[in-house]
Amino acid sequence: MRKTLFILVFLIFNFIWSQTVVGKLDLSNAALELIKQDVTYDPSYFSIDYPNGDVPSGKGVCTDVVIRAYRKIGIDLQQLVHEDMKANFGVYPKIWGLTGTDKNIDHRRVPNLMTYFKRQGSEKSISIDAKDYLPGDVVCWNLRGAITHIGIVVDKKSSDNKRNLVVNNIGHGQVLEDILFDFKIIGHYRFASVQPTN
């Protein structure tokens, strides 16, 4: 009986580990794949398909990096954010003066992604310790004023080997950069699967 219980606990632990650690590395790898694509920074509003809609492949902003990387691992943030906003519109930011959802743009706004990730129980603490930011983590920054930014921590190290690098698009395409602590961090999330809302 004890041996059976031990094996069961071991299998459960391995499953949980694979869903967290392996899922994170998958997102890191998906983000790294994006830097091979030539993308021009373009914040224009686009009418896109739903679900699984995307702006033109050669265009995008910081949120599109996150959306495209998650889509590569089978998670459609466009649909997830849209459905959650439709059901819980009152808890999402009202920065843009909207009175309803817009499946073309809602998931492409940093504050909406932050709200969604937090509602999924994926929020992690914000620190100044590089070891707290693992491959596959999503980080949000305040650049200045109301300007926010988002990127994905990946499994590549800075030249001094002290920090993981970030795939982001801060104005010059989907690139790999050492920017983790260049701006004020306002959000840190570890979201790899669909989880129930709080």
**Is the residue at 197 inside a domain?**
no
pLDDT of residue 69 exceeding 90:
yes
**Is the residue at 196 inside a domain?**
no
pLDDT of residue 78: 98
Fill in the DSSP letter of residue 123: B
**Is the residue at 104 inside a domain?**
yes
Q: What are phi and psi of 160, to 5 degrees?
A: -90, 5
**Is the residue at 198 inside a domain?**
no
Least confident of 9-23, 24-38, 68-82: 9-23
pLDDT of residue 1: 57
Band (pLDDT 50/70/90 cuts) for residue 2 is low
Residue 99 C-alpha from the chain's centroid:
25
**Is the residue at 54 inside a domain?**
yes
Closest CA to 63 of 52, 80, 77: 77
Q: How many domains does the chain have?
A: 1
**Is the residue at 89 inside a domain?**
yes
**Is the residue at 195 inside a domain?**
no
Distance CA 5, CA 9 (A): 6
Least confident of 20-29, 106-115, 134-143: 20-29
Residue 104's domain spans which residues? Answer: 2-189
pLDDT of residue 129 exceeding 50:
yes
In this structure, the chain runs to a length of 198
Closest CA to 131 of 92, 180, 179: 180
Q: What is the pLDDT of residues 73-90, one digit of tens each?
A: 999 999 999 999 999 999
**Is the residue at 194 inside a domain?**
no
Beta pairing partners, 189: 123, 138
pLDDT of residue 50 exceeding 60:
yes
Least confident of 27-41, 102-116, 149-163, 180-194: 180-194
- For strands 40-41 and 59-60, give the pairing: parallel
